[in-house]
Amino acid sequence: MNGIYAIGTYNFDHVSKGQSVAARKAATLLADVNKAEAALAIFYSQVLGVLEELADIMLRVLDFSFHSSKGEFRSLRKRVQTARQAIPAVPNANPLATTCDQLDQWLDNLERLVSSRS
């Protein structure tokens, strides 16, 4: 899974491990052949390494400090649904629905992570 997408959706346990190492190896292989591609691979290796470590930190934070009941998530889901129902029938309302979709996805992923660690 794309690391940036996984972090952005609080899907911390789906950040692929080892992609930064693979990108570093690619940079080494490309160093003499294509400098621009090698530089891009180095950039990606750095970003992927940060994402891998950030995901690990977030999982440890959840393990250490976060305990929740299903009721908290249920309440938040109801509020997202209320917001979704309040979206006005106007042009360009799509970003409002997208925001609700994003909130639902965050809640799905956080609830899954919390219950898998209980």
Q: Are 10 and 110 in contact (CB under 8 A)?
A: yes
C-alpha radius of gyration, the chain, whole number: 19
- List pLDDT tens digits, range 63-98: 777 766 667 889 999 999 999 999 999 888 899 999
- List pLDDT tens digits, range 3-38: 778 888 888 988 888 888 888 888 888 888 888 888
- Quote the CA–CA distance of 42 and 109 in Å, as a whole number: 30
User: Percent of the chain beyond pLDDT 90?
Assistant: 29
Res. 57: pLDDT tops 80: yes
Q: One-letter amino acid identity for 111? A: E
Q: What is the average per-residue pLDDT within 102-118?
A: 86
In terms of DSSP H, where are the helices of the chain? 3-8, 19-30, 35-65, 70-85, 94-116
The angle subtended at Cα 18 by Cα 10 and Cα 67, nearest 5°, is 30
pLDDT at 106: 92
